Structure 1
């Protein structure tokens, strides 16, 4: 299995409602993209966050499922929404479990 972790930073104009909608859209990918075992997303409450506001974890069946996820149409739609609402930075970590 593969664990995919992403943390997101947004600009000052991004609203709390937009962040909540981003979480909803991210979580919906489980029903849309084959190979996802589990997906979780939420607002970061850590005071050590360095400005990163949302977190995402996606567990995939295998590396091929992760590779298929990136270019998938539904994933790209969510990426477009994140950019539209003010995504300013991300950090991504992928590892095998």
Structure 2
């Protein structure tokens, strides 16, 4: 299995509506992209995040599923939406277990 971890930081303060809308759109990826076993996303509530406001984990069946996810049109839509929202930085870590 593959664990895909993403941390997202925005340039400006986003509204609750914007952040919650992003989460809803991202969570729906499981309905469109094969190979996703589990997807979780949420807003940081601690003061340890160094400005990263959103955390995402996606568990995939295998590395091929991760590769297919990366190029899937629905995932590309999410990446474009992040640009529209004013993403400043994204950290991604992928590992097998």
TM-superposed CA distance for 1:13, in Å, is 4.6
Conservation of the 8 A alpha-carbon contact between 1:10 and 1:53: yes
Match of residue 25 from structure 1: 25
Alpha-carbon distance in structure 1 between the residues aligned to 2:16 and 2:83: 15
Pair 13,43 (structure 1): closer, same or farther in 2 beyond 3 Å: closer
TM-superposed CA distance for 1:85, in Å, is 1.0
* Root-mean-square deviation (Å): 0.9
2:8 counterpart SS class: strand
Match of residue 77 from structure 1: 77
TM-superposed CA distance for 1:46, in Å, is 1.9
Instruction: State TM-score, norm by structure 2.
Output: 0.96
Instruction: State TM-score, norm by structure 1.
Output: 0.96
TM-superposed CA distance for 1:14, in Å, is 2.4
Alpha-carbon distance in structure 1 between the residues aligned to 2:36 and 2:43: 21
TM-superposed CA distance for 1:82, in Å, is 1.1
**Number of equivalenced pairs:** 97
